[in-house]
Amino acid sequence: MRIMPLEKRGISNSRVVYGCMGIGGEWNSTPYTKEDIIIAEKAVEAALSIGITMFDHADIYRKGKSESIFGEILKKRPDLRDQIILQSKCGIRPSDGVLPTRFDFSKSHIISSVDGILQRLGVEHLDILLLHRPDPLMEPEEISEAFNQLRSAGKVRHFGVSNMSSAQIRFIQNSLPEPLVVNQLEMSLARLDWLDQGISVNQKAGLDTNFADGIMEHCQMQDIQIQAWGPLANGKFSGSSLDDAPETVRQTTALVQQLADKYETKPESIVLGWLMKHPARIQPVIGTSSAERIVACKDAVRVAESLTREEWYTLYTSSRGQEMP
């Protein structure tokens, strides 16, 4: 399998990322509990046990509690910090009941956000900081000033984006002295527009496909690591109830299980392996808090290397519910 962009840059060789959105208790201001800490510890241990050494956060996850609870784990295991890559995101300002949810890439907000992230995690620096969602009011020169200040202060080593098109990436990159290293997008066997966009060129069906044109190619050409959030599709093909599921999901779930039996693994590894077989060297960000489901992902790399072209297309065709154009 080809080397990932982050590995090329000497940043990380973790083929899968553990996304920490699921740990930290409820999505409110209620403090997390001892039970929440136990769940988080088991999840992190499960991730480490299958070779995951990269952990993804965002300042808004569980209202900051995801980072805080991870900080508790690092306090108990101070040696762990040097063994992992820490990534977090900023730029979303949730509604406070008076002001609406908005995006903020101002210099002051980026810098203050990072200070809060570092405090909650209890660390001196982030390996990677991502801008969470495109801010219509963003000014690349101001973003560059924030990044330069954070890098000079030793608070962030690398920068990237999330949910952005190739045009937006180029717009920001034009003012930056260092390359953006990550773009995080929703991608899975259930979310296929990133593939449909490409095969629908010169097809009427392409008019209904809403995915940033050229983003896959741009990231590959610029060695920007594509990270997939939601890669397990909330368990749609690996354990979720099929009671009200459409025929395409039932059929695809059956195919996933057949391949899991063939490759002597779990459905989760098939779903991730299918995604990782793409030549963009996609890096899935798994977000389950279940230690059992995390361990079920352990064979994803092996599956990605073993799936045949025919098996890959069979899964793709089944999930999209129609033949290739």
Domain boundaries, given as residue ranges, for the chain: 5-239+279-297
How far is CA 237 from each of CA 103, 194, 257, 268, rounded to the nearest angstrom?
A: 33, 19, 8, 8
Q: How confident is the model at residue 287 (pLDDT cuts 50, 70, 90)?
A: very high
Q: How confident is the model at residue 207 (pLDDT cuts 50, 70, 90)?
A: low
In the chain, % helix, strand, coil (3-state, to 5) comes to 45, 15, 40
How far is CA 111 from each of CA 105, 153, 169, 275, 293, rounded to the nearest angstrom?
A: 10, 11, 20, 34, 35
Total residues belonging to the chain? 325
> pLDDT digits over 237-272, tens only?
999 999 999 999 999 999 999 999 999 999 999 999
pLDDT of residue 225: 98
Nearest CA among 234, 233, 307, 244 for reference residue 276:
307
H-helix or E-strand spanning residue 184: strand 182-186
Burial of 175 (0-12, 13-18, 19+ CB in 10 A): middle
Q: How confident is the model at residue 205 (pLDDT cuts 50, 70, 90)?
A: low
The percentage of the chain sitting over the pLDDT mark of 70, rounded to a whole number, equals 98
> pLDDT digits over 213-237, tens only?
899 999 999 999 999 999 999 999 9
CATH code for the part of the protein at 5-239+279-297:
3.20.20.100
pLDDT of residue 13: 95
Burial of 53 (0-12, 13-18, 19+ CB in 10 A): middle
* Separation CA 165–CA 312 (nearest Å): 26
Distance spanning both ends of the chain, measured CA to CA:
28
Q: Is-contact 4 17, C-beta < 8 A? A: no
* Separation CA 285–CA 90 (nearest Å): 17
Catalytic residue among 61, 263, 313, 316: 61
Residue 201 has pLDDT above 90, yes or no: no
Is 18 one of the annotated active-site residues of the chain? no
Note the pTM of the prediction, 2 decimals. 0.96
pLDDT of residue 1: 61
pLDDT of residue 203: 72
Max Cα-Cα span within the chain: 57
pLDDT of residue 209: 67
Structure tokens at 176: 């930056």
Strands 126-131 and 85-90: parallel
DSSP H helical segments within 204-299, as ranges? 215-221, 247-262, 267-276, 291-295
